[in-house]
A and B are shown apart, each in its own frame.
Chain A
Amino acid sequence: MNTPARVRAREQKRADFQVIEALVEDRAKVLDIGCGDGELLKLLEETRRVDGRGIELSQAGVNRCVANGLSVIQGDADRDLVDYPDDSFDYVILSQTIQAVHRPRTVLAQLLRIGKRAIVSLPNFAHWRIRVQILSRGRMPVTNRLPYSWYDTPNIHYCTIRDFVELCREMAVHIDHKAVFDAHGRRLADGAPLFWLNIFGEQAVFLLSR
């Protein structure tokens, strides 16, 4: 199943979901791109009573979502965002998926066109474990979070926390909030300097606005 890399330890998944849950307001209109089997959408519908929609690449995921009563379509971020009108959603969520799209910059622009705000979470390719693997072994890293080999990975556009922050600056996108987690799902201090977060952060969640 060629889905975006969503494989991760369960407690870590909860960590980024918890942040997203805290960011989203009650009864918001939410689009989750790459919604997998709908775990986050279900959570947001239950706890935040959101009007939730999803897009998922894998047919099996979509079918499970719809059978579960979620409004989800089969599609992908590169192709299927153009149809939505401006400001269709209060929040557009791209969870652990931006590294798997063909045109991340275009997708990011689309997120902030169709959503008043966007929530993007991503695996950090500059995490110290990855740095050590490349330095010591001279090979593309394979970790719990990024479990694929270079030749079969759906993750075609890896980036680091610093890369993403830089892209937002270039695109004049505001980072309203960020949460960075280490390999154990513990949140790093918000005030920590970027170089620190970029070494010890294994994943990051950004709340973005235009």
Chain B
Amino acid sequence: MSSLQGKTRSRRSSSDNLPAAVREAEKPHSRVACFGEDQPLLLDSGHVLKPLTIAYQTYGTLDERKANAVLVCHALSGDQHVANTHPVTGKPGWWEIMVGPGKPIDTDRYFVICANVVGGCMGTTGPSSINPATGRPYALDLPVVTVRDMVRAQAMLLDHLEIRDLFSVTGGSMGGMQVLQWAASYPERVFSAIPIATAAKHSSQNIAFHEVGRQAVMADPEWCKGNYILKRKNPRKGLAVARMAAHITYLSEEALARKFGRNLQDRDNVTFGFDADFQVESYLRHQGMTFVDRFDANAYLYMTRAMDYFDLAADYGDVLANAFAGTRTRFCIVSFTSDWLFPTDGNRQVVHALNAAGANVSFVEIESDKGHDAFLLEEPELWATIRGFLGSCGRVRGLAEKETAGR
């Protein structure tokens, strides 16, 4: 890990003024798998993407049978840095609470892989990558990608790593959509699946929220119709507003009330102006401003679009159960009571479809007031669920038990 951080420093000195997405596209702080002209990624839009770079991280050791691989799929604003210090922000990985030695997804036992999704901005081919046809960043010339495209790319990565099948696939939110798509597209490659706080289709309300975010980005004059990298601009304000709006949807009313209430920010009275008088405003502004340091505005458009387009049943005659017909994958669906972005009902629809398909499915709704973000936070019930589920799947699959002495 220290060498990784060393690399961060050395690169920053030469190209500190470039946005993180450009630096990462140029030279990611991850392992990369490169697919040349002969291995194009066929996209749902009908376009092909070639060449293709996939940036990914791994943790733990692949066992001799190659039976213990766990694919973690990241969410909209996530990336492959699940359980290591983030090379851009210097903060801990986004799921260190879940993935690591002795954690529920135990890297002493499982070989964990996480790849930056196609269309992303942390090294996998995305809108800030160079378009070989023009020698300039793709920007909006990158074809629109879908969740299924993301999963196809991950399957190519597994082929590249010579891993035939996955012990488990997991992820929350957009990551959960990828999990469902994995189970539908490659049932024989998925032994178990843990979709968390997700849905088999993006709701009208969620598409609406995404549209607000995209319009905020596109309304920023620095967006330059997507060509901000070439023009050495950055639509920071637009992206920050998009993030602020989205962030509200990740929390719950209770969580906001508990955390901030109507508390004022460093002042005793309101100022009768439009400063961030309230703590909640200050918090949101901070969320917005820190996000733009690590995320690419165009990638935000692509990620939100991919989620909008997600409707798994549509590919299976509008009958969700058909997506899982004959599946032998073991499923564990998790939702949270206060999640209004991906509410329990949407998760339960997946459960019903899986039951109708005769699948082996567990479903846990976890009592939490933390909203959609709960899957990223301290939720011991979630940890116990995942630990228990993976443990029982491991017994069925015949994975070596971990030596528990000392832990």
Contacts and interface: CB of A to CB of B under 8 A. Distances in A.
Contacts of B321: 83
Contacts of A85: 356, 358
A110 interface: no
A111 to B, nearest CB: 15
B355 A73 contact: yes
Contacts of B364: 59, 62-63, 66, 74
A67 B385 contact: yes
A65 B388 CA distance: 9
Which of under 10, 10 to 19, 20 to 34, or 35 or more describes the interface residues of B?
Answer: 20 to 34
A67 B390 CA distance: 9
A122 interface: no
A69 B391 contact: yes
Interface residues of A, number: 21
Contacts, number: 68
Contacts of B388: 66-69
A67 B391 CA distance: 9
A63 B352 contact: no
Given A53-B360, A71-B360, A73-B361, A66 B355 contact: no
Contacts of A68: 388, 392
A80 B354 CA distance: 12
**Chain B binding surface SS class:** helix
A49 to B, nearest CB: 12
A59 B356 contact: no
Nearest to A31: B355
A4 to B, nearest CB: 18
Given A80-B352, A80-B355, A73 B384 contact: no
A53 B356 CA distance: 14
A66 B332 contact: yes
Given A63-B385, A67-B384, A85-B358, A73 B391 contact: no
Contacts of A63: 364, 366, 381, 384-385
Contact of B355 (A59, A65, A70, A83): A83
Given A62-B364, A63-B364, A69 B389 contact: yes
Given A63-B385, A67-B385, A84 B363 contact: no
A69 B392 contact: yes
B365 interface: yes
Nearest to B353: A83
Contacts of A62: 362-365
**Chain A binding surface SS class:** mixed
Interface in B342-386: 348, 351-353, 355-356, 358, 360-367, 381, 384-385
A88 interface: yes
A75 B350 CA distance: 13
Contacts of A53: 360-361
Interface string B330-349: 10110000000000000010
A87 to B, nearest CB: 10
A67 B389 CA distance: 6
A72 interface: yes
B387 interface: yes
B358 A67 contact: no
A67 B384 CA distance: 5
Interface string A18-47: 000000000000000000000000000000
Contacts of A83: 321, 352-353, 355-356
Contacts of A65: 362
B356 A71 contact: no
A84 B360 CA distance: 12
Pick the 3 closest A-B CB pairs, nearest first. Answer: A69-B392, A67-B388, A73-B363
28 contacts: A51-B360, A59-B365, A62-B362, A62-B363, A62-B364, A62-B365, A65-B362, A66-B389, A67-B385, A67-B387, A67-B388, A67-B389, A69-B388, A69-B392, A70-B392, A71-B330, A71-B360, A71-B361, A72-B363, A73-B333, A73-B351, A73-B355, A73-B363, A74-B364, A75-B348, A83-B321, A83-B352, A88-B358
Interface of A: 51, 53, 59, 62-63, 65-75, 80, 83-85, 88
Given A72-B363, A75-B363, A84-B356, 11 more contacts: A59-B364, A62-B362, A66-B362, A66-B385, A69-B389, A70-B362, A71-B361, A73-B333, A74-B365, A83-B352, A83-B355
